[in-house]
Each structure stands twice: as C-alpha cells, then as structure tokens.
Amino acid sequence: MSADPTANRRWRAMLWLHLGLGLALAAWLLWQTRPVSLPEVPGARIQCLSYSPFRGPERSPLVPGEAISVAQIRHDLQAIAPLSDCVRIYSVDQGLDAVPAVAEALGMTVIVGAWIGRNDAANRIQLARVVELARDHPHSVRALMIGNEVLLRREQTSAEIAALLDEVRRQVSVPVSYADVWEIWLQNAALAGAVDFVTVHILPFWEDHPVAAKQAVAHVAAVHRRVEAVFDKPLLIGESGWPSAGRQRGPAVPGRLEQARFVREFLSAAARERWQYNLIEAFDQPWKRRLEGTVGGYWGILDGADRLHFPLTGAVSRRDGLGAAPAAGVAGAALLGVLTALAGRRRLPLAAFAASGLWLGLCGAMLFEHAQLAWRDGSEWLALGSAALLGPAWLILRALSPRPDGGVARARHGLHLAILYCTALAALWLAADPRYRDFPLWMYAGSAPALLLCGESLSGPRRDAIRICAVVTALAGLARLLPEPGNLQAVAWSMLCLVQAAGGWAAGQQQQRE
C-alpha cells in the first residue's frame, strides 16, 4: 500500500517542528549559561538586611505555634555577618525576640519591628516587648519600627499609627519610625511628625507600573529624591531588592542575573549618594509564595543552604548549567521512538514521534525545575503533577495506537478534552487574577504541537465540549496579553493558548488518515 501524501506531510511537519523547537530551547538554555559582565562592588558591606528565620519549605510564621530556636538564629546571623552587621526584623514573637541578644554577642545591630495589625491585644504585646528589648539591649537595638505597611493593608488609620509611635517614643531612647511604601508616605505626610526618621519601601518590581531591572536603580534614585524633597527628617530606604525567580511583571523579569544587576548597582548608588538603606532580604522565604505567588519566596540574596545567589564580583550567568534537560530530552526521544517502533509504525511516523519525545523531555525538565520553585506542598504536587501528566499520557497512547476508534482512541479523546479543560481553567485564572499566578508554560508546551498536528477526530458532545474549551483558551490567553504586551512570558503563554485552541478546534473536524 502506498503512503498517504497528506499523512506524510503531517508527519514531516511534526518531525521538523519538534526538532526546531528542541534546538531553539537548547540554544536558549545555552545562551542563559553565558557569563554577563556587571558592575562590581568588591568588598562591599550591605548596611542592613531584612531577616526572617522561616526559610525552609515547611516553615512559616503563619503556622500557629511555630517557634524559632536561639541556635537557628545564631546560625543565621553568623551566615549574614560576612555581608552585613545589621538585620531588620518585623516582629518579636515566635522566638524572634532573641535576635537582639544573639546579635549583640556577634557584634551586630538590629532594627526591631513591632508587627501591628487589626488585633489591639496582639499589638499591645508587640509594643511592650519591643520597648523591653530596646531597654535591655541598648548596644544592639539601633531603632524600633512600629508597624510595617499597616496603612497599605488598611488595618489602622494614620492617626492611630501616630498615637502608637508617640506612646513608644516616650518610653525609649532609640530612634522610632514607621515603614510603608513610598506612595503611602506621600499620601500621609503628616505622619512624619511622629517619627524620628521616615522609612520608605521602594520596590521597582512591585510598582503599579513595573520597572525593568536595568532601570530599577535609577527608579529608586528618582523616588528617593522625590520623597527627600517632601520631608525634613532623615530618610531610610526600609526595603529595596529584586527577586531571583518567579513570574514576570511587564518588563520586570525575576532572575539570578537581574537580581545581581540590581544589588550591585544599588550598592554602588547607595555609596555614591550616601543613602541609608535596608535590603530585602537575607534568605529566601518560600512561605511567602502563599501570599505573593512564586516570586514572593525568592527575594533573598542567600538561598536555603546559606549560599549567595550570585557573587559581588566577576561575571554572572542566568544559569549555572543545562541541568537535566539534555538527559530528559534524550530519554523522551528514546521512549517515544521505541513505543512507535513497537506499534509497527513506518519510518517517518517513528522519526516524528521520536522528535516529539525529544521536545516532551526537554519541557519536562523545565517543568520540574519550575515545580521545585513554585509548587508549595504535597497537594499541589499531586494536583498539578497529575495535570502535567495528561499530555505525555496522550502522546504515548497516540504513538502506540494509530487507530481512530476503539478503547484506546476513546481514552485519547478523554485525555485531549482534559488537557484543553485544564488549559482553559489556567487561562481564565491568569486573565481574571494574574498578579500572583505563574504562567504554566511547561505544563502544556510538551504536547501542544503534537495535539495540533496529529490530534483526534471527535464527534458528538465531546467535540462540542473540546471546542468550547478551545474558544475559552484562545480568548483568555489573548486577554492576558493585552495589559502587558511587552511581557515575554505573557507572549509565550498567549501563543501556547492559541496552539492549544487550534488543536482543540481542529479535533472536531479533521479526519485522520494514516
């Protein structure tokens, strides 16, 4: 029997598309390993670093009863000491009230924070403890920070914060301040009368109009000048920094190289302009992912093993190496090639499925890297991992069984619908509530080209359902792109949504011939 020319064209398209995608991804990974020259700050000391000891994946201050030992605090401050002789803490419960004593023994100082919220009784406990610490440790407590972004969260009024500040100032001899984002301070300028110095947070990544890493320090400088012109009191940059991982916001890209660029340029500017500052933060805080998405957990300049994410001198690369991608790509190509050969396929389909396996393996390696950063607990690994396996399961069944009917075909049809449903749901979430959600590119990219080029021929209710999912996916994917067309992650996600949608729509009309 002669080969079907239409089928051959489809297999060739599948072969070359997957090979092209695989080579492009490999080239991109290699490009990320190249060293990039950045401004250097040899021997630089950071004035102060935000410190929280809840840096393990299962540790969180949001867990009732979670307490930190003095031994861990001592270990952490010893890791920070080569970089800075000052830390800022935000609360004095859960064992954090031991920080001033440990810091004093190590010759370090502390900006001690009282966490202020809506609960007046809890506020009273915090205030009493910070006053006590300031009196007991005059050599290590350099200032008290009464409240952090309380006005931003709308948990107290400006007058209520001022009253708390006045109350504390009468009881201690150290300077007292309140910390909030710079816009909030400009809106509540009268609050400066209740503080010894004004503490502003300037975080270019989180601005309403995010700033790219290359312009971020210039933005900090511009904001500093603007705020300094309003107040006649000393100014402290209470928080500034850059994340090393997570979701891109407009032109603001998280990453190792971007974080290194920001910190190095910031330290140079701070020395030149004589800024007083505190960088956020010493260690990565994975627990913050529940509040701020993946990006919230990776603002530390030290990782969970006390290692710097980047050096302060020398070139910096975005990646240290290719990771597991090459091995995963070869394994994927071998698996799909063997399965296709076992199914008795001809040479061209075998090559096409082997190429799709190469792409699938590469995407799987990238997904695993992302999952280690983003998936927060066992339930997410189970739910998201199951969704991620739908595509590989469909592709394996497609390689094993070319028949358009029968039990295996019905299983493939169900998997295709499940893939489109999950993609549509993710696209809707990203369109409606995108701030703290990642783009799940690698969950669906591995099977999307194959679904488009060698998908299913469906009919009946299943066809209608998959077409509805396809329309929702396409529209929601485009909706996510419109607010931030310069976001490359959003562009890639929108393109993936269109590919998924095209494959789903075509499933209702294409006739498979092999």
pLDDT in tens, 487-499: 999 999 999 999 9
Residue 42: band (very low, low, confident or very high) from pLDDT cuts 50, 70, 90: confident
Residues sharing a CB contact under 8 Å with residue 75, sequence separation 6 or more, in sequence order: none
Segment 57-99, tens digit of pLDDT? 778 898 888 899 999 999 999 999 999 999 999 999 999 999 9
467, pLDDT greater than 70: yes
pLDDT digits (tens, 9 = 90+) for 391-437: 999 999 988 877 766 788 888 888 999 999 999 999 999 999 998 99
Task: Look at 259 and 512; give whichever has higher pLDDT.
Answer: 259
pLDDT tens-digit series, residues 348-393: 989 999 999 999 999 999 999 999 999 999 999 999 999 999 999 9
- pLDDT score at 513: 38
Report angle CA 247, 248, 254 to the nearest 5 degrees.
85
The CA-atom distances, in angstroms, between 190 and each of 154, 186, 187, 232 are 17, 9, 9, 12
Q: Are strands 141-148 and 176-181 parallel, antiparallel or unpaired?
A: parallel
Q: What angle do CA 56, 58, 63 make, to 5 degrees?
A: 115
pLDDT, residue 458, reads 67
Q: What are the two backbone dihedrals, phi and then psi, of residue 310, each rounded to the nearest 5 degrees?
A: -155, 155
Phi, psi of 199 (to 5 degrees): -115, 115
Contact 77, 111 (CB under 8 A): no
The overall average pLDDT reported for the chain is 93
Give the model's pLDDT for residue 511. Answer: 39
Dist CA 495 CA 293 (whole Å): 23
User: Which residue in 17, 28, 11, 9 sits closest to 319, CA to CA?
Assistant: 28
As a whole number, mean pLDDT of residues 500-511 equals: 72
Q: Residue holding tokens 């816009």?
A: 183
Angle at which helix 407-432 crosses helix 488-506, to 10 degrees, equals 150
Q: Residue 461: its pLDDT value, please?
A: 75
Report all structural domains of the chain as residue ranges with CATH numbers, in order of start: 13-32+322-506 (no CATH), 49-297 (3.20.20.80)
DSSP 14: H
Write down the pLDDT at residue 508.
Answer: 54
Q: Could you read off the pLDDT of 228-266 as tens digits, one per residue?
A: 999 999 999 999 999 999 999 999 999 999 999 999 999
| Structure tokens that stand for 202 in this block | 């300037």
Buried b (16+ CB within 10 A) or exposed e, 460-488: eebbebbbebbebbbbbbebbbeebeebe
**Is 63 within 8 Å of 377 (Cβ atoms)?**
no
